[in-house]
Amino acid sequence: MKTLSLVILVLITNSLTAQYEYEPSEDYPFGRLNPEAPKQTADFEPLIGLCKCKSVARVDQNNWADTVMMDWTFKYIMNGLAVQDETLKEDGAHSGSIRQYNADSASWYVHYYSSSVATPTLSSWEGDKNENGDIILYREQKAPNGMDGFYRLTFSNISNNGFNWIGEWVNTTETFSYPTWKIYCTRQE
């Protein structure tokens, strides 16, 4: 009877483990891409893991703040069907995002959260990977003077060695941009 109970327990445990085989684990600390996910979910594959980054934000029109060091970790979540990232900054302002690809709209949907402000509704961006391999995301946002435009996020120079990121306000025709935040990352693991 004891042996039968042990066999049943092992079978149940193996069954449950197989159900979530793409989640982060001891063997795969950042999870794995689920083959059932939309193929675009692999857009973030080169970013999966830990990067050491330098972050610099604009203070005003003419000045940038001091560089803040940060860790930026990307991992697969929801059994490899989505991507989550988390930043841990040395200044204590941490943040993260949940990233899901919607095949019906052919767009990434990215929902952002931060330790500095808890909001009832998360900010969200929408976008895709372009022909140059950059991932570009947009959120409608007016300029301080009331002009229509977008806050654009761009992941560029993406490789297995790291990536660059920029947040900037752009007008609706994208002929003018005003950078407000830049991050430069080098892969660690």
Encode pLDDT of 140-176 as tens digits: 999 889 999 999 999 999 999 999 999 999 999 999 9
Distances (CA, A) of 73 to 16, 45, 54, 78, 86: 26, 12, 14, 16, 5
Return the ∠ at Cα 50 (arms to 34 and 135), rounded to 5°.
65
pLDDT 10s digits, 48-80: 999 999 999 999 989 999 999 999 999 999 999
Q: Cβ contacts of residue 28 below 8 Å, gap of 6+?
A: 22
Tokens of 156: 């560029």
Q: Please, what is the average pLDDT of the chain?
A: 90
Q: How many residues does the chain have?
A: 189
Whole-model pTM over 0.85: yes
Closest CA to 155 of 99, 104, 116, 113: 99
Largest CA distance in the chain: 77
Picking from 15-24, 73-82, 114-123, 145-154, which range would have the lowest pLDDT averaged per residue?
A: 15-24
Closest CA to 68 of 89, 98, 88: 89
